[in-house]
Amino acid sequence: MNLTIESFIILLLVAGVIGAIGQKLTGYSRGGCLTSIALGFIGALLGSWAVKQFNLPEIYTLKVAHTSFPIIWAIIGAAVFVGVLGLLTRRRML
C-alpha cells in the first residue's frame, strides 16, 4: 500500500471527525483529538467487520489512496465502541 503524507492526513482528519460524531451520539466524551482519531479507526474496523460478517451493503465509502473508509459503518462502529466504553468506565455514585 502506497500511502502519501497528504492521504494519511486526510484519513486522520476523517477518522477524527467520525470519532467525534460517535462520541456525540453516545453522549460520552473523554479525551481529545487523538482519542477521536483512535475511535474513528476502531469504528472503521468494527464497521468493516460487521459488513463482512452480516453481508450488509456498504452505504457510503470514502476512497483515499487505495484505502476504503466506510463512513456510515465507521460512525456506527465508533458509537457502539464508545457506548460500551462508557458502560464499562462509568463512575459509580456512592
Cβ within 8 Å of residue 53, ≥6 positions away: none
pLDDT in tens, 33-77: 888 888 888 888 888 888 889 998 888 888 877 777 788 888 898
Please, which pLDDT band fits residue 1 given cuts at 50, 70 and 90? low
Specify the pTM. 0.81
The Cα–Cα gap between 36 and 56 comes to 25
Residue 78 · residue 21 · CB < 8 Å: yes
